Each structure stands twice: as structure tokens, then as C-alpha cells.
Amino acid sequence: MDKETGLFPFLMLVISLLVLCESRVVKVPAGPLIHVEGQGVSIHCDVSNYEGPSDQDFDWAMVLSDGKVIDILSTTLDSRLTHYSMKDRVNSGDISFNKLGDSSVELRFKKVRATDSGLYRCNTPSTDSVTSGNYFADVELKVIGDSLKVATALSKSVVNEGESVQLQCTITRGFTEHTFLSVTWYISRGNNLFEEILTFGPDDKIKVESNYTQLYADGGFQLDLRGGGFYGLVLTDPKPMEVGVYVCTAREWVRQVEEGIKWRKILEKTEEVGTVVVTPIAQSLMVAVEKNTTLNVGDTLNLTCTVAANDLPSLSLELMWLVRSIDGSGSTRVLIHIGRDGLLQDGSEAVGFSRVNAKTFRLLVHKVDRSDSGLYSCRVKAWLQQGREQWYQAAEKTSNTVQVLVTHLEPQFKVTLEAPLTPQFTSDPTELRCQVTNILHLQDGNLGVTWSYSSTTKDSSQNEVVIASLDQHGALTTGKQHKERLESGDIAVTRRDPNIFILRMLQTRDIDMGSYLCSVTAWTSGRQGGWEKAKDVQSTSVVVQWSPKVPVLQVLAHRVREASTGGSTFEMTCRVTGQNMQNPAYSVLILFEETISGKSRKVLSLSSDSVLQLEEWSEPNRMDSVVLEKTGQLEYRFRLYGAQVSDCGFYYCRVTMSDQGRETVNESNKIDIAFADTGPVFNISIQSLTSKVLPGDTVKMKCIMSTLSSAPNTGDVAFDIRWFQSSGRAVDNGGVPPLISMDRWGVVKKTGGDRTVSLERTDWQTFVLGVHKSEDNDVGEYYCTVTPWLLSPATGVWTKGQDLKSTPVFLSIKLELLDSLKMPVSYGVIAAVIVCVISVLLGLGVSHCCFSKNPMHRPRPRNKLIDLEMD
């Protein structure tokens, strides 16, 4: 029983699968089907696994978005099955069907419209005995507009071989889902047949045609996918074989997986980019060598090969210098061979080669001889890179030949001597210039010079002295007589240019007057590597002469201010005049003599650079007492402040003039200082900070000493100071004692009773009196008396001077009415209050005593008072 129960479901499943496998199947392509408006469209429909007749009928309909079905047509040709909205198109044949077989049919649109987009249904009427499977199938049709546009441009139509050119192709289209784009580049080489180069897409892959696979792998062309619909083709190194018309084709695709087809093209646009013409390098390559030349034996052959070509920097050049005999016989010989990588392939050490620039190549043959004569030419091979690592020869060309003739020629030149700078005075500079002109056949030789001097111009062969000479290397050889001046730099021999020699004397001397000449020697390189003297040419002589003039210097001193007393200022000027000078510089020295023709002493000096210096001025406390300054172009002023007896004597100027290494010295006349020593003269003055004060204020008055003549040293003077008051209410009793005094040792003595005064010394000549808490009795005149004491530097003895008295100063105290009454009134009020209080207290005490002891004033008994009131 279990076995039967388990076997039954299995049998039912097998029967069901067999039934399903034999059910009717209607198939249409997988959608959506995308087509472009205006194109012909066909939609296939197949039926299989059906019963009945082999020839099946099909009905086509369109299912609207709301589910409504519109019949289009039927293979039964029943017009009633066509919706009225489709009849015109069906009758006109714009929509039709094509029976492909008994079980296959296709719906055709001659020119599909945008309104044809929708869901289409293929229906097969049933001929089966049992209804099973599907009897219709739906497929979606999308009709899109033609928005595909192709724009092309060509950066340059004519290019040089190997020059990059860009072909531009820009494609734009409206975006539609499930559509893809491809771009194909073609070339036509004049036979109207286009050959495909490469294709990009529609699967975002690049497919290169077999004929161009190697060229693409070598980098001969590239696809430029910079974005934005740009699909350019870059020919990196075009060759003449790549000349042609280039075309860009854009295609729009959709995926289609039925029948083994993956992609289906729905749209295609083609645009011609233009014709690319490639100019071969051989057509533009030009090679030339300079003109014929004639050389001397030992010279250097210098030939230049010039190469010209279109886009020359992109070429790699291989170069060979060739030579053959002048008569054309014999074979051509390779002098030097340079590969395209710039490396030497063949050559000799005697032949040099250099590349001056991108287009110029130079051949150098040093120390040529007669065997180097011949016909020279330059052969150039132009190479272009093919791909990333390969090169190919694009062109080859040989230049014209030039004749090189090597002979033995003697150098020719002319020597001229001139004097651009001649002296007018002794010590002026002198410059002689020896110039070589009209130089021929010197080639790589050098020039040397020899300078000679003769003290007389009558016979240059006598007394001729060699000053110095420069050899072919520029090495200096000095003459015996001028060696010291040449080594010190006073005479200089230089080469300014290869053909100009200079002799310069910085300070020409009298012995240098005479006749000068230069002799130029041409040196050429010898066969063994040394130098050989080829030719000597001597210049005409040049005479250097001037009239010697002796410099004249005069100095005149003039008194400006006379020092008549001690402490006064002495001032004098020194004026300088000179003759026969060029660029003089003056330095001035002030000298002092106590007596005429006595021993002189230097005071101070002023150099030509305006540097002031104390010389033998030996008083350290008076360093600033002497001044020397330049007040004019040729005038100097000397000033002595605070003249003393020790300064008496004679003063004069010594001026030193320096001009071109020469010095001239002269002295001025002498100006004297003479006065008698009267000693210092003192003056006393008094100063009060205020003349009116209030009671209780502090008053300060200054007693100031000053000198009218020469001031002594601070340690050589002292003062006795006394302050007096002359009261306006005091009676003259024949003398007033000082308030306070200070002796010359600084001891203060107070004699003014109980007065509050003070005395202090603020500096060596100022003494200050202070009156503290001033009262009305401080009113009056104040003055000070001073006794100076002088110390003799010679004996060390103090000498008392004459007493000095200052002018008085009056001191008054301001007493205003309110201030004067304030104290008496306050005292009176206080006294009255006190008396009043005492009187009241006294009255109270007396009354209390009197009433307590008198019986008549005792109070009555209370009961009697009550009775009296009742009555």
C-alpha cells in the first residue's frame, strides 16, 4: 500500500511534464525593440508545439497602456480584424505582414513612426484539441528620434613626414536607454574604396584592422578619447603611405541576443574629415657647405655643414664628412662619421667635430698641411622614429663640394702707435696704444709686443731701452731699467684686445720724456706643437714731452678776534693759494711758539680727509678749548676759547699740499696773543624763587657766584658765605649780625636766635638760604656777602680776596583781612562760651544753697493746704 501511495504522485508529475512539454509556445523577440523613426521595422513571431494543421494563422494587435487591445491585422485577411485607426496604414501597405513559414510570421512597418511605440501582441488561434501553453506573446517597441550628429575637423591638412596631425570627430546624440555608440575610422587612398582603420565600441573596446595592427602597436596612431563625445584620431608620425581621405562613421546599436546575434545596428552617420597630405622628408631636406677657402700650412680648417628640413627637430641626423682629391681622381674618403645618436662611428684624433646648433655641424682639422687640400662635402641621413623603439631612414642627401687649398702664406698686418693720454705736468698719467690692423693669414696665430724707449728723438738707435714685452701667451718680460716700476704697478703693460696693446705710466716722471715705439711679433704654431716667430713689424715713434712747472704754495694768516684778557676767545684764519697744481689736497697744522724763532709746539691738525687731531695740546681739562675747521674751499679757521697767560705766544699755520704724489709745504705769518694776568674777577648775584609768601610757608633764596675773567679750577677757589636780614622795623645799631654763615671749609654757623633758617651749597658757586615756617617778623630785605679765597698752584697758599656784597631782595608776607580776624574771633567765641557756662553753673549752685537753709521758704503741711482750698 505504501509503495502504491509513493508511486502515484511521481507518475502524475511525469505525465504533467510531458503535457507541458507538448504545450503550444508562442515566441516573439525579447524586448524592448528599439528602432529609429522613419526606418523599416519587422517583428518576428513563431509558434511551436501545436496540434492541428501545420499552417498556422497569426493575429497582430497593439495593447494600450490602459489595457485596451487594438487589432492591427490577421493572416486570415479578414479586414474586420483591423481597427479603424489602422486601416489606412494597412491598406497603404505601411503596415503589413510577411508569412515566413507555416509557423512563422513577421509584422512590418515600412516607415515606423514615433507614435508606433508601444506593446505589440502576437496571437495564434487555437487548433489544439486541448488548450494548453500560451497562445500569444507581447513585445515592446520603442521608436526614437534621429538625434545622432557627427562633426569633424582637421588640425592641419599638409604635414611633414613624422609630424603629428590630429583628426577630430565629435559625436552628439540624445540619450536613449539600452542604446550604444560606436565610432569607426576609414581611409581612402584615391581609389574611392574606404579601408577600415579601427573601431571603438559599441562594447567600449578598440578593434584594429589587421593591416594596421602593427602600426597601432608601434604607436603610429592613437585614438583620442578625451570625453564629451570627442573621438579623435592622432597620426603620431605619418608617412607618405598614410596620405588619403579620412572618414569618421558613428553608429548607434542595441543589444540583440536572438539567433546568435549580439548587437543590432539601428542608426549610422558618416562624415568626411578631410585629406591629409604628407610631405616626405626627402623633398624638404637641404644640405650645404660653406664656400671655398685657402689656408696656410699649420692653420685650422673650419668648415660648416648646414642642414635644413621641415620639422628638423623631430629628425635624428647621421652625418659624414667626405673628401676627395682636387682633380676628382681617386675614391672618396670618409674623414669622420657621426651616428644618429651623436656618437663617433669613424674618424681620427686630428679631425674634430661639433654640433653648433640643431642645424649646423662644424668640421675642424688642426694644423693642416698640403695633403689636406681637396674637395670636401657633407652627407646627411635623416632618420625618423617608427613606433616606440624602431627607426627608419626617411631621406639621404649629400651637399655640394667646396675646395680647400692649403698653401704657405706669411702673416700680413699693420702697426699704428698713438698717445690718447699725454702728461701736462710731472706725475700726470701717460697712455700709449699700439694697434694692429689689416691682419691677414694669421689664422690661429698669436701676437706679441715689445715696448721701447729712447731718451732722444734725433737718433733712435742710440740709448734705446726695452721697457717690457708680452709674448704670444701674454707673459710679461720686464726690462732692466723699468723692472722696479713695472713690479710696483707704476708702469703697466696690458693687452686690451687681441690686436690692441697698452702701455700706461700712472705717474710720469721727468726722465720719462722721450721717444716711444712698439714692435709687434706674429707667432704661428709649429709642426711639433711649439710656436714659431713668423714676422716682426715696428711702429713709428711717438714723442712724449711737456714743460715742467714747479707748484707754488702761499699761506696767509689773519687775526679775526683778539684775546686781550684772560678767559677771552682768540680766533685767526689761514688762507691758501696755489699755482701749477692739478688736483691738490691740503692738510693744515697749527703751531705755537712762546717767542719768535723759539721752539715750536704742535697744537692740532686737520687732514685732507677732514680728520681733526690734537697733537701736543697737553692740558687735559681744556681739550675742547681749541678748534680747527674748514670754512671755505681754501680757508681754515683756528679758535682758542678761554685764553690764559700760558697761551700767550705766536700762532701760525703749516699747510701741506699733495698733488699727484708730490708734496709742497709752506708756513704762514705768525699771529700773537699777549695780555697781563689780573687774576679771576668774581661777580655775585642773588635770586629769590618768590617775593611774597603766606605765613608758615618756606622761602628759598640763592646766592650765585660767577667769574668775569678766566675761571680757575674748581679745587683752587673757595668762598665764605654770610646771609643777612635788614628788617624794616629794626633800628640801626651800628651793625646787624648774620642770620647764618658758611666758611670756606663748609662749616655752617647759625646766629639768628630761634629763627628757623638753613644754608646749603648746591654746586661750587651756588648757596641757597632757606627760611622755614615764615612769620611776620621774617618780612624785610635779605642779602648775602661773599669772601673769595684763591689757591696759588705754585705755592699752595690760600689768599683772601675782596669781600663782595649782593643786591638785596625783599621778602613780604601776605596777611588778608579774613585770615587776620580768623584767630581773634575764634579765641573770643571760645572765651565767651566758657564764661557763659561758668556763670550758669555758679547761679545754680548759689540758688540751691539759699533755698535749702531759710525756714520761711519751707513748704506747708498738706492738710492745711487742703483746708485752705476748701474754704
N residues, the chain: 871
pLDDT of residue 559: 92
* Angle at the Cα of 335 from the Cα atoms of 334 and 340, rounded to 5 degrees: 80
pLDDT of residue 796: 66
Which of 51-60, 259-268, 549-558 has the lowest average pLDDT?
Answer: 259-268
| Model-wide pTM > 0.85 | no
168-204 pLDDT tens trace: 999 998 877 788 899 999 998 877 788 899 999 888 8
Q: Could you name the CATH architecture of 19-144?
A: Sandwich (2.60)
pLDDT of residue 405: 86
Residue 19 in this model has a pLDDT that exceeds 60: no
Contact (Cβ atoms closer than 8 angstroms) between residue 698 and residue 729: no
* Phi/psi at 729 (5° precision): -100, 0
pLDDT of residue 709: 61
Contact (Cβ atoms closer than 8 angstroms) between residue 164 and residue 236: yes
Characterize the bridge pairing of strands 263-279 and 158-160.
Answer: parallel
Average pLDDT over residues 642-656: 87
Q: Confidence band (pLDDT; 50, 70, 90) for 468?
A: very high
Contact (Cβ atoms closer than 8 angstroms) between residue 520 and residue 415: yes
Q: Which residue has the higher pLDDT, 358 or 736?
A: 358
Q: CA–CA separation, 201 vs 169, rounded Å?
A: 15
Q: Confidence band (pLDDT; 50, 70, 90) for 22?
A: low
- E strand or H helix that includes residue 346: strand 344-346
pLDDT of residue 114: 87
State the sign of the Cα–Cα–Cα–Cα dihedral 42, 48, 52, 55: positive
Residue 275 in this model has a pLDDT that exceeds 60: yes
Three-class secondary structure assignment of 29-94: CCCCEEEECCCCEEEEEEEECCCCCCCCCCEEEEECCCCCEEEEEECCCCHHHCCHHHHHHHHHCC
The fourth-level CATH superfamily of domain 149-279 is Immunoglobulins (2.60.40.10)
Q: How many other CB atoms are found less than 10 A from the CB of residue 757?
A: 17
Residue 432 in this model has a pLDDT that exceeds 60: yes
Residue 361 in this model has a pLDDT that exceeds 50: yes
218-244 pLDDT tens trace: 888 889 988 888 999 998 878 887 888
User: What is the CATH topology of the domain spanning 412-544?
Assistant: Immunoglobulin-like (2.60.40)
Which of 218-227, 399-408, 725-734, 760-769 has the lowest average pLDDT?
Answer: 725-734
Average pLDDT over residues 242-254: 90
Average pLDDT over residues 590-614: 89
Helix/strand/coil for 618: coil
Average pLDDT over residues 528-546: 85
Residue 755 in this model has a pLDDT that exceeds 90: no
Q: How many other CB atoms are found less than 10 A from the CB of residue 96?
A: 16
Beta bridge partners of 43: 107
Cell 680757575 belongs to 712
Question: Percentage of the chain surpassing pLDDT 90?
Answer: 22
- Mean pLDDT, the chain, rounded, equals 82
Alpha helices in 422-564 (DSSP H): 483-488
Q: Which residue has the higher pLDDT, 658 or 385?
A: 658
Residue 732 in this model has a pLDDT that exceeds 60: no
Contact (Cβ atoms closer than 8 angstroms) between residue 721 and residue 715: no
Residue 304 in this model has a pLDDT that exceeds 70: yes
| H helix and E strand count, the chain | 7, 62
C-alpha cell at 386: 617608427
Q: Give the CA distances from residue 565 to residues 73, 645, 711, in Å, rounded to whole numbers and listed in that order.
A: 152, 9, 12
Which DSSP string corresponds to 729-793?
T----S----SEEE-TT--EEE-STT--EEEEEEETTEEEEEE-S--GGG-EEEEEEEEEEEE-T
Characterize the bridge pairing of strands 412-421 and 402-407.
Answer: unpaired
Q: CA–CA separation, 273 vs 245, rounded Å?
A: 7
Average pLDDT over residues 659-684: 79
pLDDT of residue 678: 58
Residue 462 in this model has a pLDDT that exceeds 60: no
pLDDT of residue 648: 87
Which of 547-561, 608-622, 673-687 has the lowest average pLDDT?
Answer: 673-687
* Angle at the Cα of 868 from the Cα atoms of 865 and 871, rounded to 5 degrees: 155
Which of 231-235, 367-371, 475-479 has the lowest average pLDDT?
Answer: 367-371
Q: CA–CA separation, 239 vs 163, rounded Å?
A: 9
Beta bridge partners of 512: none
30-47 pLDDT tens trace: 878 888 888 889 999 999
Average pLDDT over residues 301-312: 85
Q: Confidence band (pLDDT; 50, 70, 90) for 639?
A: very high
Q: How many other CB atoms are found less than 10 A from the CB of residue 852?
A: 9
User: What is the CATH topology of the domain spanning 281-407?
Assistant: Immunoglobulin-like (2.60.40)
- E strand or H helix that includes residue 593: strand 585-593
C-alpha cell at 485: 716700476
C-alpha cell at 355: 654640433
83-140 pLDDT tens trace: 888 888 888 889 999 998 888 999 999 999 988 889 999 998 888 778 778 889 999 8
Where do the domains of the chain lie?
19-144, 149-279, 281-407, 412-544, 552-673, 682-728+736-813
User: What is the CATH topology of the domain spanning 552-673?
Assistant: Immunoglobulin-like (2.60.40)
Cell 684686445 belongs to 497
pLDDT of residue 84: 86
- The candidate with the shortest Cα–Cα distance to 277, out of 249, 246, 248, 313, is 246
Q: Fold identical between 412-544 and 682-728+736-813?
A: yes
Average pLDDT over residues 553-577: 88
Average pLDDT over residues 296-303: 82
* Phi/psi at 857 (5° precision): -105, 15
Beta strands in 479-584 (DSSP E): 491-497, 500-505, 514-525, 531-538, 542-544, 552-561, 570-579
Question: Percentage of the chain surpassing pLDDT 70?
Answer: 87
394-413 pLDDT tens trace: 888 888 988 898 887 778 89
The alpha-carbon radius of gyration of the chain (Å, integer) is: 68
Which of 210-219, 332-341, 840-849 has the lowest average pLDDT?
Answer: 840-849
pLDDT of residue 492: 93
pLDDT of residue 509: 85
Characterize the bridge pairing of strands 293-296 and 402-407.
Answer: parallel
The per-residue b/e assignment along 438-447, b for 16 or more CB within 10 angstroms, e otherwise, is ebebbbebbb
Contact (Cβ atoms closer than 8 angstroms) between residue 271 and residue 386: no
Q: CA–CA separation, 580 vs 795, rounded Å?
A: 58
Average pLDDT over residues 464-474: 90
> Which CATH class for the 682-728+736-813 domain?
mainly beta
pLDDT of residue 622: 74
pLDDT of residue 6: 53
Q: Confidence band (pLDDT; 50, 70, 90) for 466?
A: very high
Q: What is the dihedral of CA 77, 79, 83, 85, to 10 degrees?
A: 110
Cell 512590418 belongs to 108
Q: Confidence band (pLDDT; 50, 70, 90) for 856?
A: very low
- The candidate with the shortest Cα–Cα distance to 782, out of 795, 765, 769, 796, is 769
Helix/strand/coil for 526: coil
Helix/strand/coil for 426: coil
- E strand or H helix that includes residue 870: helix 862-870
Q: CA–CA separation, 414 vs 439, rounded Å?
A: 7
Q: CA–CA separation, 368 vs 648, rounded Å?
A: 92
What type of residue is 570? F
Residue 830 in this model has a pLDDT that exceeds 90: no
Q: How many other CB atoms are found less than 10 A from the CB of residue 190?
A: 9
